A = this chain, B = another copy of it.
């Protein structure tokens, strides 16, 4: 039979068109005959809206893996806005479409972040053992799947003691981004001020908490909710997390915002040195008004899908600076520091200093149907959800 002649030399040969199996396999089981692992993945063969281009593809992983490979079982994988952009084709980190999974057209697995348990290792793997937890080093690996075959070098082992799968699955993007944004662009000392919009985002919440831990003071901008009670509840929640002040976008856009900021920062004696922006358009122009001389605006997202408008005069005479930050590029350039930082962040989680976001768990079992997964993905970009959606894998 065809499955018997699969060789182990190439990754290309590690996947098998599952349709050849179907007639003889137990569709409800993750283990196929001869130790093959049955796996499902959310894949796409062309860029477009997730609802239109995603499909759930089933295939198998051979038990005899190459010496430097490992087999991973997914424990949790979040749905980040960048994952959606990647499927839409607007994200610069594009996965390779490959025929290896046995789809009719070459495809890529969606998702970029996740926590995995190592279920088997190749004969030459030395740094990782069965049962270890790992996260993926680089984007475009494909994490929305029940299992994956990886190279030893694709992953970072993490110490799972005192950490939940959801916590581990969500440290690589948001807390890392927040950490670098606060550390790498301005030298902020204890008591220094910074400001951000999208304060309710995953990055925003992590930044509030990290900033608090490091003794910084923050001004946090949120969009108004549908009613004032919800807005006030959110304001209180962010203050509880460690925000120094919380403003609504409407308050930020008020023409007297500079006076308000002066009031908050001891008559303007204390400059707001750093601004973090994930919005764009007029709301960001308003944020820039709050920066003091020599201030630095760092953009890491563009939810409003509008360009930044920067006032020439302030750029020149107030010595403002504008940069962008992309955590994937940073991670690729700084693998050792990433490892160190992940451990620092994990420790902060263990001691309770860095609290979880709200998560909406989407349980992915062997029988979960495509439309349930798609429903979870839909709406991730609107920014009003009370928490991130995350796939957690059960009995897969």
Q: Which stretch of A163-171, A211-219, A324-332 is in the interface? A: A324-332
Q: Is A337 an interface residue (CB 8 A)?
A: no
Measured CB to CB, the closest approach of chain B to A92, in angstroms, equals 4
Copies of this chain in its oligomeric complex: 2
Q: Is A315 an interface residue (CB 8 A)?
A: yes
Residues 287-309 of A contacting B (Cβ, < 8 Å): 299-302, 305-309
- Kindly identify which residue among B302, B309, B313, B322 contacts A302, using a CB–CB cutoff of 8 Å: B313
Q: Is A317 an interface residue (CB 8 A)?
A: yes
On chain A, the number of residues with a Cβ less than 8 Å from chain B's Cβ atoms is 31
Query: Which chain B residues border A311 with CB–CB below 8 Å?
Result: 307
The answer to whether A324 touches B317 (Cβ under 8 A) is yes
The answer to whether A322 touches B315 (Cβ under 8 A) is yes
Query: Which chain B residues border A301 with CB–CB below 8 Å?
Result: 312, 316
Among A311, A324, A325, A329, chain B packs the most CB atoms within 10 A around the CB of A324
The answer to whether A307 touches B312 (Cβ under 8 A) is yes
Give Cα distance in the complex from A92 to B318, angstroms: 9
Measured CB to CB, the closest approach of chain B to A242, in angstroms, equals 26
Residues 312-348 of A contacting B (Cβ, < 8 Å): 312-326, 329
Give Cα distance in the complex from A312 to B285, angstroms: 13
Chain A contacts to B: CB under 8 angstroms: 90, 92, 280, 285, 299-302, 305-326, 329
- Could you list some 5 contacts between A and B, CB below 8 A? A299-B315, A306-B312, A319-B324, A319-B329, A321-B324
Closest 7 CB pairs of A and B: A302-B312, A315-B324, A322-B322, A316-B324, A92-B317, A308-B310, A307-B309
